[in-house]
Amino acid sequence: MREPKLKVHNDGEAQGRLVRIEKPIYGGSFLARDEGKAVFVPLALPGEHARVRIVDEKRGYSSAEIDEIVSAAPERTVPDCRHFGACGGCQYQHTDYVTQLRLKREILRETLERAGVQAPLELDVLAGKPWEYRNRIRLAFDPSGRVGYRGRRSHEVVAIEECPIAAPLLVSAALATAEVLRDFKATVRPSELALFCSGDESALLASVFVKAPQKGGFNDFANALSERIPALRGMELVLEGRQGRHASRLALWGETAIAYPAGGFGYRVGQGAFFQVNRWLVDALLERVTAPYKGRLAWDLFAGVGLFARRLASSFERVVAVESAAAATRALADNLSGMRGTCVAEETLKFLRSRSRDGQPDLIVVDPPRAGLGEATTSLIADTNTSALVYVSCDPATLARDLRTLIGAGYKLESMTLADLFPQTFHLETVVHLRRS
């Protein structure tokens, strides 16, 4: 265990402003007040008194950094990661996991109620092991070629030697990539690196991002890395998109996808395709979303590679899976091949506007990005009069906004689950089951 990295003034004079930490807020900070003005303080805990230094002043609030913890909360612990505080990846390692879950429940409940949505009295929690859970990470390279994450308050790269929330294979692959790149720095000059592995760490995909076109030496680099990381199955060289342009693949080595077992199925997941990030909770999340539904027709909107659609295809006569991201649609079609499912490669909003071709579904599952459904999509879903709806959300604010519209259209909350897919961070997933009579 290592000492927390907090700046403490010991010169005998009072430094900073003394505040009392009130409660957590979504985004990783905690609320305090200074002469009535809201102050957002990271790395704090409710009930603590701290001397803080204002680093950003806005009209309605200030952002601050802790100079000294004057009185610590009993829940405060020493972070497991030496990079915590400087690295921007985690926000809650300074407290125990039970407390983290309590903080997230408070945030979810308050966010819903602030939007006029009454949270259920019983708020289920789905949680697993809080370490080594990530099956995907994205890193950057500093000027010297070391690999790391962006800093907590800047875009500077914090070089890492460890990452306790990531699968060990990802960490070893990231460090090995930086080492191997030193021999190829004249031909391969990446800006970022994305890594994705199967749940059992038997297979790995890598994406190397560059800011300018380059191909020379890439195959030699990939071969050299595969000697260091035998689990490496495929690697792509990607030109970052600029000025509104999409990223484009410059070169490819090996395979474009790996197999990912989940819920009794073998999913094909390709380079850059969305898949749930917590390898300990994929099966439990799949069960929580899809059981016990069955019927004639189900829609899976924002389907990704078909995690939910494939499971639904075993209990519905027909499943329509809608996904627009090119990185996912090919894998989605493969994952539904031979099943009672259809892949529709288009935007969800466009699909809903022409939905009459499929009739009314018995169930709709939605798993939108952080922006949520939005007014137009939410209204069109409500207009289907579908009796059962499952909303999988990764942002409580947009979830609350969309739920207010759905409840106003006649849906009622049946159950709500806080799925903690991102321990040690402020991120939280929510699974909401709604029913319309």
Q: What is the CATH number of domain 136-259?
A: 2.40.50.1070
**% of the chain with per-residue pLDDT over 70:** 95
Confidence category of residue 242, pLDDT binned at 50, 70, 90: confident
Cα(188)–Cα(366) distance, integer angstroms: 40
Cα(90)–Cα(102) distance, integer angstroms: 17
For residue 58, which phi and psi values (nearest 5 degrees)?
Answer: -115, 170
CATH topology (fold) of 113-128+278-435 = Rossmann fold (3.40.50)
Residue type, 101: L
Q: What is the per-residue pLDDT for 11?
A: 42
All CATH 2.40.50.140 domain ranges in the chain, comma separated? 1-76
Confidence category of residue 46, pLDDT binned at 50, 70, 90: very high
Torsion angle, CA of 175/180/181/182, rounded to 10 degrees?
A: 100
Confidence category of residue 358, pLDDT binned at 50, 70, 90: low
Cα(310)–Cα(318) distance, integer angstroms: 11
Question: Is residue 8 predicted with pLDDT exceeding 60?
Answer: no
Q: Structure tokens of 130?
A: 């809080």
Q: Give residue for tokens 């903080």.
A: 103
Residue of 132, 130, 129, 108 whose CA lies nearest to 119: 108
Q: What is the pLDDT of residues 207-234, one digit of tens each?
A: 999 998 876 889 999 999 999 999 999 9
Confirm if 51 and 16 have CB atoms less than 8 A apart. Answer: yes
Confirm if 220 and 184 have CB atoms less than 8 A apart. Answer: yes
Cis bond leading into 292, ω under 30°?
yes
Q: What is the per-residue pLDDT for 412?
A: 97
In this prediction the pTM is 0.94
Cα(243)–Cα(246) distance, integer angstroms: 9
Q: How much is the average pLDDT of 282-287?
A: 98
Q: How much is the average pLDDT of 370-379?
A: 97
Q: Give residue for tokens 């288009």.
A: 346
Q: Structure tokens of 171?
A: 């960490």
All CATH 3.40.50.150 domain ranges in the chain, comma separated? 113-128+278-435
Q: Structure tokens of 257?
A: 């996808």
- What secondary structure letter does DSSP report for 18? E
Q: CA 265 → CA 311, 312, 314, 328, distances in Å?
A: 8, 12, 11, 17
Confidence category of residue 355, pLDDT binned at 50, 70, 90: confident
Alpha helices in 209-341 (DSSP H): 218-228, 282-290, 307-312, 326-336
Confirm if 300 and 322 have CB atoms less than 8 A apart. Answer: yes
Cα(255)–Cα(330) distance, integer angstroms: 14
Is the domain covering 1-76 a CATH 2.40.50.140 domain? yes
Question: Is residue 356 predicted with pLDDT exceeding 60?
Answer: no
Cα(117)–Cα(112) distance, integer angstroms: 5
Cα(279)–Cα(260) distance, integer angstroms: 10
Q: What is the pLDDT of residues 68-96, one digit of tens each?
A: 999 999 999 999 999 999 999 999 999 99
Residue of 240, 265, 287, 393 whose CA lies nearest to 331: 265
Cα(7)–Cα(27) distance, integer angstroms: 22
Q: What is the pLDDT of residues 122-138, one digit of tens each?
A: 899 999 999 999 999 99
Q: Quick count: other Cβ atoms within 10 Å of Cβ 57? A: 11
- What secondary structure letter does DSSP report for 338? T
Question: Is residue 44 predicted with pLDDT exceeding 50?
Answer: yes
Q: How much is the average pLDDT of 175-186?
A: 92
Residue type, 137: I
Residue of 227, 251, 143 whose CA lies nearest to 177: 227
Question: Is residue 56 predicted with pLDDT exceeding 80?
Answer: yes
Cα(413)–Cα(122) distance, integer angstroms: 11
- What secondary structure letter does DSSP report for 357? G
All CATH 2.40.50.1070 domain ranges in the chain, comma separated? 136-259
Q: Structure tokens of 404?
A: 């207010």
Residue type, 416: M
Residue of 192, 250, 178 whose CA lies nearest to 221: 178
Cα(5)–Cα(3) distance, integer angstroms: 6
Beta bridge pairs of residue 159: 148
Confirm if 329 and 399 have CB atoms less than 8 A apart. Answer: no
